[in-house]
C-alpha cells in the first residue's frame, strides 16, 4: 500500500465526523505490533482480521513470523480470536486450527455484532480488547463503533477480493484526512515552507469537490435506481405492470422508434428510466449547487439551472442509452440486468457530469 504511514494517532486533530475511521496506531505489519506494550496497557484480548493482515487472500500458508508472533502472544497470556468477513468458512476453520485460536462469526464488519460476541465469549471489557486489521471501513470502523482500540496494519502484497478494491479506493480518498491525526515527533515536524509546498490532496478544492460530487452522485444514484425499480417492476396498471402496459402502447403506436425492443418491458425502459433520471437530476442540482460547488445567492441561479440541465440532459441521454442497451444483458433476469445497466451508466455519466458542471454549469462558483 503506497503512502502508508505508521505511528500513533490523536483523534483530537481531526473533525468529529472522521473519529470512527481513525485507528489508535498504524504499523507496517502484524510483526511490528508490540505485544509487551499492549500487555502493559491492560490489553488481554487480541482480535485479528485474516486476509492481508495475518495471511494473503486465498492462501493457507502463513508468512514467516506470523505463527511465532501468535505463539508469543499466547505465552505472554493474551487470548486471541479471529474476526473475518470471509465467506469461505472451511478455509477459515483450517487457518484457525493451524494457529490454535478460536473464531467468532456474526454480521459482517463494521457491524458491532462480531466484536460484541467476542467480548461476551471471552468475558472481556472493551478496554481490555484490541483489534488488528488492514481495512479502515471494516476492521477500524467496526472496532471504534464498539469502543475497542484498533491497530491499522499495512495490507500484504498480492491480489484480493474484488469487493475489497472498492474499500481500498475509498481508503485512498480518506487517508490524507486521517493522517492529520497522526502524531509526528517534534524533531520530524516539517517547516512552514514544506507544508505549503506539499499540501495533501485532501486540502485542494478539486479533491473536496470530487469527494462531495461522489457523495451527491451516490444519493442521486439511489434515487434513480430506486425509482426505476418502482416504475418498471412494481407499479401496476390494471392487471399488468405499468412498464408492460406502457411498453406495449409504445411499440404499437411508435413502431419505428420502439421496434428495436425485445419485449414490452424493454420498450418502457427509456421512458420510465428517463423519468427516474430526471427526478434524480434535480436532486443533484440542489446539492451540487449549495454543497459541492458552494454557490450562494440568487443572481445566477436560473442561468446555472439552464446550464446544469443542458449538461445533465446529455448525461441522462447517455444514461438511458446505456441502461437500455444493457436492460436484457442477463436473459430472464430483468432486475439484475437493470441494476447492471444502472451501475455501468452511472460510472460513465459521472465523469461527464462532473467535468461539465465544474467547468460550465457552475463555472462562476467560488470554493
Indicate if 158 and 249 belong to the same structural domain: no
**Contact predicate 329/255, CB 8 Å:** no
Cα radius of gyration rounded to whole Å, the chain: 26
- At residue 184, the 3 state secondary structure works out as coil
Q: Which helix (H) or strand (E) holds 308?
A: helix 301-325
Q: Tell me, what's the pLDDT at 25?
A: 95
User: Could you tell me if residue 2 is inside a domain?
Assistant: no
One domain, residues 178 and 258? no
Identify the domain boundary among 160, 176, 198.
198
Between CA 162 and CA 165 the distance in angstroms is 5
CA distances from residue 319 to 69, 164, 206, 279, 292 in whole angstroms, order as listed:
52, 26, 25, 13, 22
| Nearest one of 131, 155, 134 to 144, comparing CA atoms | 131
Q: Which of 142, 78, 135 shows the shortest CA–CA distance to 110?
A: 142
Cα–Cα distance for residue pair 327/273, rounded to 1 Å? 11
Range of the domain at 314: 204-361
User: Which regions of 134-278 does DSSP assign to beta strands (E)?
Assistant: 149-153, 236-237, 240-241
Of the candidates 216, 206, 268, the residue with the CA atom closest to the CA atom of residue 241: 268
Output DSSP code: residue 187. Answer: G
366 in any annotated domain: no
Can you give the pLDDT at residue 195? 40
Kindly report the pTM of this predicted structure.
0.54
230 and 287 part of one domain: yes
Q: Are residues 122 and 220 both part of a single domain?
A: no
**Contact by Cβ (8 Å): 366, 293:** no
pLDDT of 328? 67
Q: How many CA atoms lie within 13 A of 293 on its CB side?
A: 22
Q: Is 271 exposed, middle or buried (0-12, 13-18, 19+ CB in 10 A)?
A: middle
Buried b (16+ CB within 10 A) or exposed e, 300-317: eeeebeebbbebbeebbe
**25 and 45, same domain (yes or no):** yes
Structural domains in the chain (count): 2
Q: Can you give the pLDDT at residue 55? A: 94
pLDDT at position 192, please? 42
| Whether residues 181 and 221 fall in one domain | no
User: Is 174:22 a contact under the CB 8 Å cutoff?
Assistant: no
Place of cell 414490452: 264
Task: Count H helices and E strands in the chain, helices first.
Answer: 14, 9
**Among residues 183, 198, 213, which one ends one of the domains?**
198
Give the C-alpha separation, 268 to 255, whole Å. 13
Q: Per residue of the chain (367 residues), give pLDDT as tens.
A: 667 899 999 988 888 888 999 999 999 999 999 999 999 999 999 999 999 999 998 899 999 999 999 999 999 999 999 998 888 889 999 999 999 999 998 788 888 999 999 999 999 999 999 999 999 989 999 999 999 999 999 999 888 777 677 778 778 878 888 898 998 644 444 444 444 344 454 445 778 888 888 898 888 889 988 999 999 989 999 889 999 899 899 999 998 888 888 888 888 988 998 899 888 888 888 898 888 888 877 767 888 888 898 988 888 788 788 887 777 656 666 677 777 777 878 788 888 888 888 888 887 544 4
Residue 256 resides in a domain: yes
The rounded distance, in Å, linking the Cα atoms of 107 and 93 is 18
Chosen domain end from 198, 219, 253? 198
**Shared domain check, 275 and 134:** no
Amino acid at each position: 500500500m503506497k503512502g502508508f504511514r505508521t505511528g500513533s494517532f490523536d483523534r483530537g486533530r481531526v473533525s468529529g465526523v472522521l473519529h470512527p475511521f481513525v485507528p489508535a496506531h498504524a504499523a507496517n505489519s502484524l510483526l511490528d505490533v508490540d505485544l509487551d506494550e499492549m500487555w502493559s496497557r491492560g490489553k488481554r484480548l487480541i482480535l485479528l482480521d485474516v486476509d492481508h493482515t495475518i495471511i494473503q487472500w486465498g492462501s493457507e500458508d502463513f508468512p514467516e513470523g506470523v505463527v511465532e508472533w501468535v505463539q508469543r502472544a499466547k505465552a505472554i497470556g493474551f487470548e486471541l480470536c479471529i474476526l473475518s468477513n470471509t465467506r469461505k468458512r472451511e478455509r477459515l476453520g483450517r487457518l484457525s486450527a493451524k494457529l490454535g485460536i478460536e473464531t467468532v462469526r456474526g454480521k459482517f464488519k463494521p457491524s458491532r455484532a462480531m466484536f460484541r460476541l467476542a467480548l461476551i465469549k471471552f468475558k472481556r471489557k472493551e478496554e481490555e480488547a484490541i483489534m488488528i486489521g488492514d481495512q479502515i471501513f471494516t476492521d477500524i470502523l467496526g472496532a471504534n463503533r464498539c469502543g475497542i482500540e484498533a491497530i491499522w496494519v499495512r495490507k500484504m502484497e498480492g491480489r484480493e477480493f474484488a469487493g475489497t478494491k472498492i474499500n481500498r479506493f475509498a481508503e485512498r480518498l480518506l487517508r490524507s484526512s486521517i493522517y492529520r491525526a497522526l502524531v509526528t515527533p517534534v524533531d520530524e515536524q516539517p517547516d512552514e515552507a514544506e507544508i505549503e509546498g506539499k499540501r495533501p490532496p485532501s486540502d485542494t478544492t478539486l479533491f473536496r469537490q470530487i469527494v462531495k460530487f461522489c457523495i451527491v452522485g451516490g444519493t442521486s444514484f439511489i434515487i434513480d435506481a430506486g425509482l426505476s425499480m418502482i416504475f418498471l417492476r412494481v407499479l401496476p396498471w390494471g392487471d399488468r405492470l405499468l412498464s408492460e402496459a406502457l411498453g406495449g402502447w409504445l411499440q404499437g403506436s411508435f413502431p419505428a422508434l420502439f421496434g428495436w425492443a425485445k419485449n414490452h418491458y424493454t420498450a418502457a425502459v427509456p421512458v420510465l428510466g428517463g423519468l427516474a433520471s430526471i427526478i434524480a437530476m434535480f436532486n443533484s442540482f440542489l446539492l451540487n449547487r449549495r454543497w459541492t460547488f458552494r454557490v450562494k445567492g440568487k443572481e445566477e441561479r436560473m442561468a446555472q439551472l439552464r446550464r446544469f440541465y443542458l449538461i445533465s440532459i446529455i448525461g441522462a441521454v447517455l444514461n438511458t442509452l446505456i441502461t437500455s442497451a444493457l436492460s436484457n444483458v442477463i436473459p430472464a433476469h430483468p432486475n439484475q440486468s437493470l441494476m447492471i445497466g444502472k451501475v455501468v451508466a452511472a460510472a460513465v455519466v459521472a465523469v461527464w457530469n462532473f467535468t461539465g458542471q465544474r467547468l460550465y454549469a457552475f463555472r462562476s462558483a467560488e470554493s
